[in-house]
Chains A and B, each alone.
Chain A
Amino acid sequence: MARLAPSENKTPDTEAMKILVIEDDREAADYLEKALNEAGHTTHVARDGEAGFTLADSETYDVLIVDRMLPRRDGLSMIAGLRARGNATPVLILSALGEVDDRVTGLRAGGDDYLTKPYAFSELLARIEVLNRRANVRDGETLYRAGDLELDRLSHAVRRGGKEIVLQPREFRLLEYLMRHTGQVVTRTMLLENVWDYHFDPQTNVIDVHVSRLRSKIEKGFDKPLLHTVRGAGYMLKA
């Protein structure tokens, strides 16, 4: 879980986002603002739930990063308030709690993702980039393409350069998730959450081994690497 300087995570084709950070701790907010700006995003900061609600309600943001415990109005009630007003901006909840229940209540209140403090910035960055709706245009597609790699979501067929690649069901879901987020960094915990549906911290390199198996299947016999390791952060599929 080594952490990189934020700028190293920046990828050329990552869209610049307009982000609202609602966090009452000055140091944490300053750190986030600086790191997000370095990653190429525009960041606004609100220091309490009321100010955050007013800002989120009056301006358009790509992603909201909301601390759970905020003065004047707590994070969850603020999110619920925004959702009640029809505001569908993706929300990443930050919390110092982080029990199984907290995640469930957080997502039930209208949050889209949940991250427990302390977190690695690379994890946060990867998650908000995946949350950004404008980047997720692939949700409705049935055929994913990256370079000469094709994945058919309906027939579950995977081809590269016209050649059929046989994958196990879990490998298919792994590749599907990576391809849906082509060009975006995907962390190990994101993979465990989205491919295996478990939310604990994988202590050993279980995910790495799965990814390297998948990599050998889709890259063996081909020159161009597709599945890249982003040091200290995770993986990225990119042609």
Chain B
Amino acid sequence: MSRLAAIFRTTAARLSALYLLLFGISAIVLVFYMTSLSERMLLAQTRETIDAEALSLSRVYERGGLPALVRSVAQRSRQPGANLYLLTDPNGRPLAGNVETFDTSVLSITGWTEQPFAYRRFGEGASRPQGEGENGESRHRAIAQVSRLPNQMIILIGRDLGEPERFRRVVQRSLMLALGVMGLGALLIWLFVGRQALNRIDDMSEASRRIMGGDLTGRLPVTGAGDEFDRLSENLNTMLARIAALNDGLKQVSDNIAHDLKTPLTRIRNRAESMLAGKHSAAQYREALEGTIAESDQLIRTFNAILMISRLQAGYSAESTTPVALSAIVRDVVELYEPVAEEAGVVLTAGEVSDGTVQGNRELIGQTLSNIVDNAIKYSGDVEGGGKVQVSLARAGNELRISVADNGPGIPEEDRARVVERFVRLEKSRSQPGSGLGLSLADAVMKFHGGKLKLSGRDPGLLVEMTFPREQNQ
């Protein structure tokens, strides 16, 4: 029962009930309108028949006088399914006709009876008990036209009302039946649809409960029907996938923080503790404090990089992107790093720089390219015969590609995918300062721009390519 009650609580059921109510009211109005209309039409038809009868009888009287009229009335009265006929003398005594008893006051009027009146035909009384009639009066009701002949004879022609009443009842009953069948059909459809919808929603609720319970890999059922429930499920599933990705990112960040930030924090703490423990010179205190600040700054830098990566992966707001001229960034960064490169004994040059604009964030792209160039200079500084780093910007079909090529030691092929992961620093690079986040940040920035970061080998050296999709025509 509670399940049935639940169906009644669905929106579909409520709407169906409302429609059923409206339909019922209009159907009832229709039934009454139709029956009263048909009744009126039948009545009008009856009157026409009676008029024709009266005209015909008056012609008979004109031609053959009273005897012909009496004969004609008697004859017509005997026909099966005949009208009511009654011919009386001026005092109301019947001369011919088929009406046995009736409300005699009818004879005093001329023309149409205003109200239907009760009557009984000859031979009806005994064979058909009409229990309800008062004073043995039958229930038969009729309308009639009363007219007077020139010799003061009264002639009454009438017709039983049973037929239109029966007809009305039949129409009414059949309409009511149709209405009932339709209502029943609507109810069945409603139950079926409501149940169906309820089942789908129950499935979805069940799946949501499982997901809320912690199973973030769970998804809402998609039946493949392509209806609105499927669309809703698909959208919710996309949302869930996004949430799961964010959750994974968050988990990874906290793992990394636990793993990599604890070490420098422990170092800072140990240093402070050892300085508090013994007596030291002012210079030693100063050195320890400066070391602490330097280490904290590095921690903050690492922290900022982690946050930046997470936010980029979570999807930066599109507001922060504008059309950015990549060529200007390439020139800026080469110009910015050229003196540092020279000092490190590296020749930094800008190769071919095509013009190109992408929709993006100038700061992020500039910072990323700086990091990559910075790395390239660092690693090619020790190369015998002098390091060389070349930055170029080229169009490749619909893409724009910034390449940074160096002639340093490069990265072994098997490690290339790994260095993009957070905090991965190859053993060889442990001696170089850095958080190990530079390439992960670069990767996140490229993904944010819908592009990709690719590391490949040169002989010797490393080629880092930042590929941006779709050039902005402008």
Q: A residues bordering B, Cβ < 8 Å?
A: 1-3, 98-101, 104, 118, 120, 170, 196, 198-206, 209-210, 213
Question: In the complex, A100 Cα to B332 Cα: how many Å?
Answer: 19
- Among B301, B317, B361, B367, max chain A CB count under 10 A is at B367
With known contacts A99-B311, A204-B340, A209-B343, A118–B293 Cβ distance under 8 A: no
CB distance from A56 to the nearest CB of B (A): 29
For residue B336, CB closer than 8 A to chain A, the reply is yes
Q: Which residues of B contact A204 (CB under 8 A)?
A: 340, 374
Q: Which residues of B contact A104 (CB under 8 A)?
A: 320
25 residue pairs of the A-B complex, CB under 8 angstroms, read A1-B294, A3-B293, A98-B304, A99-B316, A99-B320, A100-B320, A100-B363, A101-B317, A118-B300, A196-B336, A198-B332, A200-B366, A200-B367, A201-B304, A203-B374, A203-B434, A204-B340, A205-B340, A206-B339, A206-B340, A209-B339, A209-B342, A209-B343, A210-B336, A213-B339
A-facing residues in B337-357 (Cβ within 8 Å) = 337, 339-340, 342-343
For residue B459, CB closer than 8 A to chain A, the reply is no
Are the CB atoms of A198 and B340 closer together than 8 Å? no
Are the CB atoms of B304 and A2 closer together than 8 Å? no
Are the CB atoms of B339 and A100 closer together than 8 Å? no
Query: For chains A and B in complex, what number of residue pairs have CB atoms within 8 angstroms?
Result: 61
Question: In the complex, A213 Cα to B339 Cα: how many Å?
Answer: 8
Question: In the complex, A213 Cα to B293 Cα: how many Å?
Answer: 28
From the candidates A98, A120, A200, A205, name the one contacting B370 in the complex (CB within 8 A): A200
Question: In the complex, A203 Cα to B432 Cα: how many Å?
Answer: 12
Nearest neighbor of A199 in chain B, beta-carbon distance: B363
Are the CB atoms of A2 and B290 closer together than 8 Å? yes
CB distance from B341 to the nearest CB of A (A): 9
CB distance from B387 to the nearest CB of A (A): 15
For residue B62, CB closer than 8 A to chain A, the reply is no
Are the CB atoms of A198 and B366 closer together than 8 Å? yes
Are the CB atoms of B301 and A201 closer together than 8 Å? yes
With known contacts A203-B301, A203-B374, A204-B340, A198–B335 Cβ distance under 8 A: no
CB distance from B278 to the nearest CB of A (A): 23
With known contacts A100-B361, A100-B364, A198-B366, A210–B290 Cβ distance under 8 A: no
Nearest neighbor of A170 in chain B, beta-carbon distance: B335
Q: Which residues of A contact B317 (CB under 8 A)?
A: 101
Q: Which residues of A contact B293 (CB under 8 A)?
A: 1-3, 120
Q: Chain A interface mostly helix, strand, loop or mixed?
A: loop
Question: In the complex, A205 Cα to B335 Cα: how many Å?
Answer: 14
With known contacts A98-B304, A209-B339, A203–B371 Cβ distance under 8 A: yes
Interface string of B284-317 (1 = CB under 8 A from A): 0000001001101100110010001001000011
From the candidates A2, A198, A213, name the one contacting B367 in the complex (CB within 8 A): A198
Question: In the complex, A3 Cα to B297 Cα: how many Å?
Answer: 10
With known contacts A1-B294, A2-B290, A201-B301, A206–B320 Cβ distance under 8 A: no
Interface string of B310-331 (1 = CB under 8 A from A): 0100001101100000000000
A1-B297, A120-B293 known; 19 new pairs, CB 8 Å cut-off, are A1-B294, A2-B293, A98-B304, A101-B316, A196-B332, A198-B332, A198-B336, A198-B363, A198-B367, A200-B366, A200-B367, A203-B370, A204-B340, A205-B340, A206-B336, A206-B337, A206-B340, A209-B340, A210-B339
Are the CB atoms of A101 and B320 closer together than 8 Å? yes
Q: Which residues of A contact B319 (CB under 8 A)?
A: 101
Q: Which residues of B contact A203 (CB under 8 A)?
A: 301, 370-371, 374, 434
CB distance from B201 to the nearest CB of A (A): 40
Nearest neighbor of B308 in chain A, beta-carbon distance: A99
CB distance from A65 to the nearest CB of B (A): 20
CB distance from B382 to the nearest CB of A (A): 16
Q: Which residues of A contact B316 (CB under 8 A)?
A: 99, 101
Q: Which residues of A contact B335 (CB under 8 A)?
A: 170
Nearest neighbor of A213 in chain B, beta-carbon distance: B339
Question: In the complex, A196 Cα to B317 Cα: how many Å?
Answer: 25
Q: Which 3 A-B pairs have the closest CB atoms?
A: A209-B339, A200-B367, A1-B297
Nearest neighbor of B434 in chain A, beta-carbon distance: A203
